[in-house]
Amino acid sequence: MFSHTPVLLNECLEALNLRDGKIYVDCTLGGAGHSREILKKVNCKLVGIDKDADAIEHSKQILTDYKTRVIFVKDDFNNIREILQSLKIEKVDGILIDLGVSSYQIDNHSRGFSYMAKDAPLDMRMDKDQYLTAFNVVNEYGEGELIKILSEHGEEKFAKKIACSIVKTRQENSIRTCGQLVEIIEKSIPAKFKTDGHPAKRTFQAIRIEVNDELSGLKQTIKDCVKVLNIGGRLCVITFHSLEDRIVKHTFIDLETSCVCNKKIPVCVCNKVSEGKILTNKPIEASLEEISRNSRSKSAKLRIIEKV
């Protein structure tokens, strides 16, 4: 069953400045936890986007009481401008992006997202219709490519050793399960460095990011989201690791900044104008109470920008 505990729920509801008669977009519908509360709170229209067909089908059931006010879209939220254009929606009043992997995807071992799922196939696709899987990455990428992915997407200190072990192991037999990959990772990391969470955490994160191409279009997507907001509309982005948060932070700063000309030039020639006002100088994090109820909220960070 598709389950989802919405992270930073009350903070998001407040941040979106919800009002009756407006249009909101949940770019990462997941288990519809955030969407259900938005629809419950105000009489609005909502566009729910997800590239996971399971999420769409589950959300239709969860939101059945609000079905006349919801448009479900199976697509990548990176295509938000094209999606809204196809729906003949010019502007919206609030957008939420939750970049976390849903509880369902992690807990459903057949999806291959979890390093705790020993017999699960190496999959990690959020969109089950796409070709590239974790199996392809682990068994087909060159050693140099693997080192780059583990270093950049996972910030893994032992990327070189893990990549070397993967290549050596697959020369004999393909690496097919999450358990096999975890075993390789654990053997590659010295015992004294296995104190900061599960040793496979960073490698699994890196491979998942590669499979789903999670970072390459994020900066442009944030800019596209602000473009389609009405004046005063807000974009809320929840991140779960430093790579995502860094992109969101710097993109928000870029959107807020007006002139970027050399200070020695007396007159602006760049014609850059501020498109947004950052409402969170520091990201909003989960309370100790929320973390005690939902441990997955521990690393969540919420940043908010308002269209000007």
Residue 94's DSSP bridge partners are 24, 234
Helix, strand or coil, per DSSP, at residue 26: strand
271 has pLDDT over 70: yes
| Position with higher pLDDT, 4 vs 276 | 276
Place of tokens 């499979």: 211
Q: Between the CA of residue 282 and those of 16, 241, 303, what are the distances in Å?
A: 17, 15, 8
Q: Using CA atoms, how far apart are residues 240 and 244, in angstroms rounded to an integer?
A: 7
* pLDDT score at 106: 78
114-212: CATH class: mainly alpha
* pLDDT score at 267: 81
85 has pLDDT over 70: yes
Tell me the mean pLDDT in the region 200-212.
Answer: 95
* pLDDT score at 109: 82
- Sequence-ordered list of residues with C-beta below 8 angstroms from that of 18, at least 6 positions apart, any chain: 24, 38, 41, 42, 44, 94
Tell me the mean pLDDT in the region 184-210.
Answer: 90
* pLDDT score at 1: 52
* pLDDT score at 96: 98
292 has pLDDT over 70: yes
Residue 307's DSSP bridge partners are 276
Strands (E), the chain: 23-26, 45-50, 70-74, 92-98, 229-239, 276-278, 284-285, 301-307
Q: Using CA atoms, how far apart are residues 54 and 57, in angstroms rounded to an integer?
A: 5
Q: Using CA atoms, how far apart are residues 143 and 60, in angstroms rounded to an integer?
A: 43
Q: What is the pLDDT of residues 142-191, one digit of tens each?
A: 999 999 999 999 999 999 999 999 999 999 999 999 999 999 999 999 88
* pLDDT score at 4: 65
Could you give the residue range(s) of every CATH 1.10.150.170 domain in the chain? 114-212
pLDDT band at 197 (very low <50, low <70, confident <90, very high): confident
**Architecture of the 9-99+215-307 domain:** 3-Layer(aba) Sandwich (3.40)
* pLDDT score at 110: 83
Could you give the residue range(s) of every CATH 3.40.50.150 domain in the chain? 9-99+215-307
264 has pLDDT over 80: no
* pLDDT score at 102: 74
* pLDDT score at 265: 80
* pLDDT score at 56: 95
* pLDDT score at 84: 98
Q: Could you say which DSSP state residue 39 is in? A: H
Strand 284-285, strand 301-307: pairing: antiparallel
| Position with higher pLDDT, 206 vs 112 | 206
Q: What is the pLDDT of residues 213-258, one digit of tens each?
A: 999 899 999 999 999 999 999 999 999 999 999 999 999 999 999 8
pTM of the model: 0.90
Q: Using CA atoms, how far apart are residues 117 and 153, in angstroms rounded to an integer?
A: 21
pLDDT band at 107 (very low <50, low <70, confident <90, very high): confident
CB 28 within 8 A of CB 98: yes
Q: What is the pLDDT of residues 2-60, one digit of tens each?
A: 556 899 999 999 999 999 999 999 999 999 999 999 999 999 999 999 999 999 999 99
Where is average pLDDT lowest: 77-86, 102-111, 164-173, 210-219? 102-111
Burial class (CB in 10 A: 0-12, 13-18, 19+), 63: buried
